[in-house]
């Protein structure tokens, strides 16, 4: 699932089912664990449980990963409560809540941290589109390709017109299909299946 192209990796997965999303997130983390890369999961209870189940099915000892400081799990709604001010995410509070956890995971390691986040999806589902995009912009602040690889998920039922989809595409560098294929983000990319090489924008 990892893009072979160098540079910033802030991917988005549009999902129809929680099970499909959790499988993709678990694969994303599993690749990182195999490369000695720690992971931060900021998700809803349902998605945390789903990702944990997928990792365990893949023979990962989740408890041991947590004890070793290789995997950290935070509740998306709790983190949102800590970073939102007057209906919008605050950059300093975001850095304190998320950035501090990243530094803890990275301590003593010369590698990137993989992050999956539900927070923007939670905001979008609640009708706070602008706040979701502002949160994505803060996520893009972790732009060093050697520091983080970020994956976000959005339920496809949240989108009813091309304009809203375009804004999400523009906030991300890559799109992940249901089968894990990666293409560079573009409003014309079809997310429902693996993209052929010829469909990648030049």
Question: Greater confidence, 46 or 195?
Answer: 46
Please answer whether residues 88 and 134 qualify as being in contact, where contact means their C-beta atoms are separated by less than 8 angstroms: yes
Statement: residue 185 has pLDDT above 70: no
**What confidence score (pLDDT) does residue 7 get?**
60
Residue 52 has pLDDT above 50, yes or no: yes
SS3 of residue 162 by DSSP: helix
**Cα–Cα separations (whole angstroms), residue 86 to 28, 78, 90, 131:** 33, 16, 9, 10
Tokens of 9: 């990796």
H helices of 40-170, where?
A: 45-57, 62-67, 76-83, 91-94, 100-106, 119-125, 129-139, 162-170
What is the average pLDDT across 32-51?
Answer: 96
Confidence of residue 8 (pLDDT cuts 50, 70, 90): confident
Averaged pLDDT, 178-201:
48
pTM of the model: 0.83
The answer, yes or no, to whether residue 84 has pLDDT greater than 80, is yes
The Cα 115–Cα 149 span in angstroms is 6
Over its C-alpha atoms, the chain yields an Rg (Å, rounded) of: 16
Segment 128-145, tens digit of pLDDT: 999 999 999 888 776 465
Give residue 163's pLDDT: 55
The model's confidence at residue 194, banded by pLDDT at 50, 70 and 90, is very low
Task: Work out the mean pLDDT of the chain and round it to a whole number.
Answer: 83
**CA–CA separation, 90 and 113 (whole Å):** 22
The helix/strand/coil state of 117 is: strand
Non-local CB neighbours of 182 within 8 Å, separated by 6+ positions: 1, 2, 3, 11, 174, 175, 176
Task: Please give the pLDDT value at position 27.
Answer: 94
Could you give the CA distance from residue 32 to residue 55 in angstroms, rounded to a whole number? 12
Classify domain 10-188 by CATH number.
Answer: 3.40.50.300
């Amino acid at each position: 699932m990892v893009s072979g192209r160098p540079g910033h990796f802030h991917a988005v997965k549009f999902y129809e089912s929680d099970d499909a999303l959790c499988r993709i997130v678990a694969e994303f983390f599993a690749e990182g664990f195999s490369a000695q890369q720690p992971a931060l999961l900021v998700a809803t209870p349902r998605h945390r449980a789903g990702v944990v189940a997928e990792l365990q099915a893949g023979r990962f000892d989740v408890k041991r990963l947590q004890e070793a400081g290789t995997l950290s799990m935070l509740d998306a709604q709790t983190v949102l409560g800590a970073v939102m001010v007057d209906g919008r995410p605050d950059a300093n509070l975001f850095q304190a809540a998320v950035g501090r956890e990243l530094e803890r995971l990275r301590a003593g390691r010369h590698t990137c941290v993989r992050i999956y986040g539900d927070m923007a999806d939670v905001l979008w589902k609640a009708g706070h589109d602008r706040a979701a995009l502002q949160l994505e912009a803060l996520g893009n602040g972790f732009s060093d390709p050697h520091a983080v690889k970020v994956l976000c998920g959005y339920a496809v039922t949240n989108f009813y017109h091309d304009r809203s989809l375009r804004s999400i595409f523009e906030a991300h560098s890559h799109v992940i299909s249901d089968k894990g294929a990666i293409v560079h983000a573009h409003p014309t990319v079809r997310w429902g299946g693996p993209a052929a090489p010829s469909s990648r924008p030049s």
